[in-house]
Amino acid sequence: MTRLASPLDRMLSRYDAVVVGSGYGGGVAASRLARMGKRVAVLERGRELVTGEFPARFSDLRGEMQLVGKQVRLGSPTGLYDVRLGADMHVLVGCGLGGGSLINAGVALRPDPRVFRDSVWPGQIAQDGLIDEGFARAARWVRPARDPAAATQTKYKALASASRALGQGPVAAPVVVSFEDCINPAGIAQPACTRCGDCCGGCNVGAKNTVALTYLPDAVRHGAEIFTHARVRHVTKGGDGRWQVYFERLAGAGADGPSSVAADMVVLAAGTLGSTEILLRSREQGLALSDRLGARFSANGDIIAFGYGAKIPVNAIGVGHPPKVADIEVGACVSGQIEIVDATDVAKSLTIQEGVLPSALAPILPVLFIPNGRLLGALKSLIAGVYKGPFAGLQTFFAVSHDSASGRLVLEDDRLALSWPGAKDEPVYQRLDAALEALARGAGGSYVKNPLAGTMMGQQPATAHPLGGCGMGAERGQGVVNHKCQIFDGRAGAGSADVHEGLYVMDGAIMPRSLGVNPLLTITALAERAMLHVARDRGLRFDAEPRHGAAPVSVHAPGAVREAMGSDPSRSHLA
Ligand SMILES: Cc1cc2nc3c(=O)[nH]c(=O)nc-3n(C[C@H](O)[C@H](O)[C@H](O)COP(=O)(O)OP(=O)(O)OC[C@H]3O[C@@H](n4cnc5c(N)ncnc54)[C@H](O)[C@@H]3O)c2cc1C
Ligand code: SF4
């Protein structure tokens, strides 16, 4: 079998640990628990797409969109791009084995140390020293690197030229991309990045260090079983003290198989939206939790915006793999960033990255950019025209800063909804608009904040960095989980620091505030840190060292890591 996932009808009725979701938090939990010798099952709602199967054409991309709002539900519930349309804010997250890592830009940054000094975090985070070990382990596994060729790329040079307007130049951005052929820590042979720019469409080369090519194959190599098309609805605690995880089988799951599974330990890692939704529904089923559940949702002060009509070439539209046009080297999705640090107020610090739109979007760019009702660019623009015509000067910006984390996630008619009435007036958006406008003008173009404003997307802000909802806190009155990611027990009579034994959240939902940088590295580090505590609390040992089989495994067939299992003595418990 070349895939990591197993058919649902192979699921056992009980595991030592069930991990819900397979993004950064879920990948870390699955790998580390399997290395501790636990029998682990991972339940993921999306599909497994292996290298080479990511959308390459617009027609493929359309099939990968799911749009869900109060009055709209379009697309397949296993589509790769999960867009939640909200009255106050839209949110984009990934859906598939590997979660957001499949479609993100891979920028991996550690937050300003002042972020962790905020009293909103439980004190142990800054004090017990394990956060540094968490970041070190995360970096060893997702391997952030700066492209040695970054400064030679056209889009980087365009950012450097435009940045004179801000008085501060760019630096190469650390991204989780392999710029040389390598055998990664999970034993997968990753080819070098071709600099095709398609990272946010899904890497068809296998050079992006996704969770699907790192932590998940490591988990499988150590005996974890992975099941896709399983959307978890809620968890309950049985009389025997075990957790029961209830899920729906989505189309594609096959006719047979269970719809619930028991476990001594459950790690919710379904992302900010998914984990909060599961807990909100579990509360409706009787699980007593903190009143803070759903609160402190943050968009991480994050926006995507554009500059159109630059007088200098930018070349920020992906060419894909195999390349759709010859002789254009775009670079990874993000090569350069401008870091503006406010020494007196961390909330005013911001990072601006130049980004690339995936090649599958190229055919529709002319219809997206319609300022003042006039179609810019040729409607009949063929793909090559997009690369050579006015769109060769299209700038895409990813900007990250801080917001007040004042959103609230709630359940409405059994569906997750975000309420944040003041979202569009958050001061961060004015700061970002001013900086991005200067950059677009600096390149001789104009700032296009939201090309989709005339559609059902409306004027609401949108984020790809949702955080919070199950935030950390020192005790139940302040958060939903403690510093070890254990969920506080909300039963009457429970102490304010008491937890539900064996129940955890490990993903973006646990952030009690904005991070001010792209969140993947922090999510991974806090999950690695939590796993160190899990092992300590249970007297278990595990190492996080790379473990390879005799033969490297292809990015096109990650499931081949199973063949190395029999020779691993740490797995004798599963024999
Ligand atoms: C286009 C884009 C670009 C981005 N660029 C960057 C970047 O450059 N750097 C960065 O740091 N971050 C970036 N991000 C954000 C980053 O990818 C996310 O913050 C990160 O993936 C979140 O990790 P997580 O573990 O919290 O959850 P996720 O990665 O979202 O994983 C959660 C998983 O759980 C699954 N799931 C959800 N609900 C259920 C359920 N009920 N049952 C079973 N499974 C479920 C989901 O399908 C998903 O696979 C980007 C995001 C997007 C969309
Ligand atoms: S630029 Fe292309 S090859 Fe490199 S990581 Fe991104 S998608 Fe993969």
CA 203–ligand 2 middle distance (angstroms): 5
Q: Please tell me if the CB atom of residue 226 comes closer than 6 angstroms to any atom of ligand 2.
A: no
Ligand number nearest to the C-alpha of 104: 1
Q: Please tell me if the CB atom of residue 106 comes closer than 6 angstroms to any atom of ligand 1.
A: yes
Ligand number nearest to the C-alpha of 329: 2
Task: Among 184, 190, 205, 328, say which to mutate for ligand 2: greatest number of ligand atoms within 8 Å of CB.
Answer: 205
Ligand 1 atom closest to the CA of 98, numbered from 1? 49
Q: Please tell me if the CB atom of residue 332 comes closer than 6 angstroms to any atom of ligand 2.
A: yes
Q: Rounded to 5, what percent of the chain is helix, strand, coil?
A: 30, 20, 50
CA 389–ligand 1 middle distance (angstroms): 34
Of the candidates 100, 67, 63, 103, which has an alpha carbon nearest to the alpha carbon of residue 85? 67
pLDDT at 547: 80
Q: Please tell me if the CB atom of residue 145 comes closer than 6 angstroms to any atom of ligand 2.
A: no
The verdict on whether omega for the bond into residue 421 sits within 30 degrees of 0, i.e. cis, is no
Q: Which two tokens stand for residue 126?
A: 């800054």
102/200 Cα distance (integer angstroms): 8
Alpha-carbon dihedral 371, 373, 374, 376, rounded to 10 degrees:
40
Task: Among 208, 321, 354, say which to mutate for ligand 2: greatest number of ligand atoms within 8 Å of CB.
Answer: 208
Task: Among 11, 31, 32, 45, say which to mutate for ligand 1: greatest number of ligand atoms within 8 Å of CB.
Answer: 45
Ligand number nearest to the C-alpha of 331: 2
Residue 562: which residues within 8 A CB-CB, separation 6 or more?
Answer: 1, 220, 221
Residue type for position 31: S
**Minimum CA distance residue for ligand 1 atom 38:** 274
Task: Among 198, 210, 359, say which to mutate for ligand 2: greatest number of ligand atoms within 8 Å of CB.
Answer: 198
160/222 Cα distance (integer angstroms): 46
Ligand number nearest to the C-alpha of 56: 2
Ligand 2 atom closest to the CA of 331, numbered from 1? 1
CB neighbourhood size of 148 (10 A): 10
Q: Please tell me if the CB atom of residue 511 comes closer than 6 angstroms to any atom of ligand 1.
A: no
In degrees and rounded to multiples of 5, residue 205 shows phi and psi of -95, -35
Ligand number nearest to the C-alpha of 192: 2
Ligand 1 atom closest to the CA of 519, numbered from 1? 11
Q: Please tell me if the CB atom of residue 269 comes closer than 6 angstroms to any atom of ligand 1.
A: yes
**Minimum CA distance residue for ligand 2 atom 6:** 199
Task: Among 520, 524, 528, 531, say which to mutate for ligand 1: greatest number of ligand atoms within 8 Å of CB.
Answer: 520
Work out whether strand 303-308 and strand 395-400 pair parallel, antiparallel, or are unpaired. Answer: antiparallel
CA 519–ligand 1 middle distance (angstroms): 10
CA 101–ligand 1 middle distance (angstroms): 6
Q: Please tell me if the CB atom of residue 176 comes closer than 6 angstroms to any atom of ligand 2.
A: no
Residue type for position 438: A
In degrees and rounded to multiples of 5, residue 265 shows phi and psi of -130, 135
Q: Please tell me if the CB atom of residue 197 comes closer than 6 angstroms to any atom of ligand 2.
A: yes
Ligand number nearest to the C-alpha of 54: 2
23/508 Cα distance (integer angstroms): 10
Q: Can you list the positions of beta strands (E) in 269-345?
A: 303-308, 336-340
520-538 and 130-142 helices cross at what angle (nearest 10)? Answer: 120
pLDDT at 254: 84
Flag residues of the chain having pLDDT under 50.
372-380, 567, 569-570, 572-575
pLDDT at 326: 87
Q: Please tell me if the CB atom of residue 170 comes closer than 6 angstroms to any atom of ligand 1.
A: no
Kind plus residue range of the DSSP H or E element containing 59: helix 58-62
pLDDT at 454: 65
Ligand 1 atom closest to the CA of 105, numbered from 1? 8
465/297 Cα distance (integer angstroms): 10
In degrees and rounded to multiples of 5, residue 139 shows phi and psi of -65, -35
Ligand number nearest to the C-alpha of 213: 2
